Homo-oligomer: A and B are copies of this chain.
């Protein structure tokens, strides 16, 4: 019998116990397809991160095994991904290192810090923190990152050098170096890009039209980048293009991933920790959203806090085997899922595939043009670019729009870290601002019911002696004084009022600051000869109020329902009428 704590932290014990031949076949097939897709991707993303190509391969071996042991998603394909690679480049770029060994060590250390942070979050069950990254901010960030990534790859297509982590830097650097364009690189890059776009859109229908079985057509489509790699490598080798200035991958060490250790230099930690936190949270959010989407399709569940541990283990594994930060990739996981991956073992089998590539294929990569890798990245990331979130947010809510627009503009203009931080900060500030100036409705009785609604929107009954205000927000320090002013201001404008009822149906909390404001309101109303009542106070709020002296000093009553308050307090108007009309 396995202890439940062990089961919780080692999901492999669950699915491993029922592993059978059918699952093995499914996982095996998925692993083959993902491996084919991952070989060029891992090389390309390593170059995007500013690292040697082999680090991409290393990041695709042990990390996948780490996730397979600790992760809960059956379909998530972990490894180097575009956005995290871009963030890695930005984080290491901040350090201003020039020695390639120092750069590699920084990447390994970043993976370690990121892994340790993710695992700590997982053990402390802090997965909810990721929820503060709102959907629009993520969407804006991914779109802007896609543009940055595609732009950063143009230098390989043009065969020039260019630097920068922001769109203006990249564009001006490209422009300045445009005269140095290498037309062999441009030819290969443009051809590869066009080919890959055609593979995405046109190849599968063509293959199906030729009568190939859909599954085979799918695999061939996924192998498009491999075909581009093979053909352009052969061209570069055959025509001797390296001597004509074409940038090629060159020597990639052959063999097992090296055993590495992160740096324990605290200055380096201090310089990287902020980036590690951002990379962890972005990677986690990206990974969990694809894992949840895929799990839901098969009525499976993923456990977000355990996912933190799984991704943390993957990153720690990257740091001890010469890799760099990894997470679950969107496109690759969808491929894994569609190919029928049944358990996390598919990831471990993929790791074997990449290991074989590292052992035997690397000499063949010598003549691979970097322009081809750039083309695979550009085609992959342009599918992430989707500006529709701007339109959706604009139509729905200006606050959401402001957050997403700020994220897009600042990511492009100031880089990934500033962009995503500003997006999160702005969405939280806008939320706080909204709650600090709550909506307050003056309500009356909907005739023929016991239901109360806003007098400005509905035809309702009111009584001149009774003012009922429905406060549409929890009462807390940020809005306590606002409410105090609002209520006292409303009351002084109408001298027929004798009783004020605050309908608390939307008040989910009353903190100590708001309690003091309520006491102030009660005492000021008392001075004016008015009574203050509450209605529809929720259980948790009532429990809290009972712990204070507020209820002893309340001049009025606390009614279970607003209708009870109405039945007890409303007096018929002296004049005719009493039925307020809906304004508008």
Contact = CB atoms under 8 A, between A and B. Distances in A.
Given A441-B538, A446-B560, A544 B436 contact: no
A231 interface: no
A450 interface: yes
Given A132-B478, A451-B561, A477-B132, A393 B540 contact: no
A553 to B, nearest CB: 15
Given A482-B131, A547-B396, A563 B449 contact: yes
A481 B292 CA distance: 11
B132 A432 contact: yes
Interface stretch (A55-63, A162-170, A346-354, A509-517): A509-517
Interface in A416-462: 427-428, 431-432, 434-439, 441, 446, 449-451, 453-454, 456-457
Interface in A451-507: 451, 453-454, 456-457, 472-474, 476-482, 505-507
A392 interface: yes
A548 B397 CA distance: 10
A584 to B, nearest CB: 11
Interface residues of A, number: 67
A132 B515 CA distance: 15
Nearest to A507: B506
A456 B543 CA distance: 14
Contacts of A151: none
Contacts of A439: 508, 538, 540
Stoichiometry, copies per complex: 2
Contact of A477 (B135, B478, B509): B135
Contact of A538 (B399, B446, B472): B472
B506 A505 contact: yes
Nearest to A504: B506
A3 interface: no
Contact of A472 (B397, B434, B508, B524): B508
Interface string A111-138: 0000000000000000010011111110
B478 A511 contact: no
26 contacts: A128-B437, A131-B478, A131-B479, A133-B477, A135-B513, A395-B547, A395-B548, A396-B512, A397-B512, A397-B544, A427-B477, A428-B432, A431-B476, A431-B478, A435-B474, A438-B508, A441-B539, A449-B561, A451-B536, A451-B563, A453-B560, A454-B538, A472-B538, A473-B508, A505-B505, A506-B507
Interface of A: 128, 131-137, 296, 392-393, 395-397, 399-400, 427-428, 431-432, 434-439, 441, 446, 449-451, 453-454, 456-457, 472-474, 476-482, 505-509, 511-513, 515-516, 524, 536, 538-540, 544, 547-548, 560-561, 563-564
Given A431-B511, A450-B451, 20 more contacts: A128-B482, A131-B477, A131-B480, A131-B481, A134-B513, A135-B477, A135-B512, A393-B512, A395-B547, A397-B511, A397-B544, A400-B512, A431-B477, A441-B538, A446-B561, A450-B563, A451-B561, A472-B540, A506-B507, A506-B538
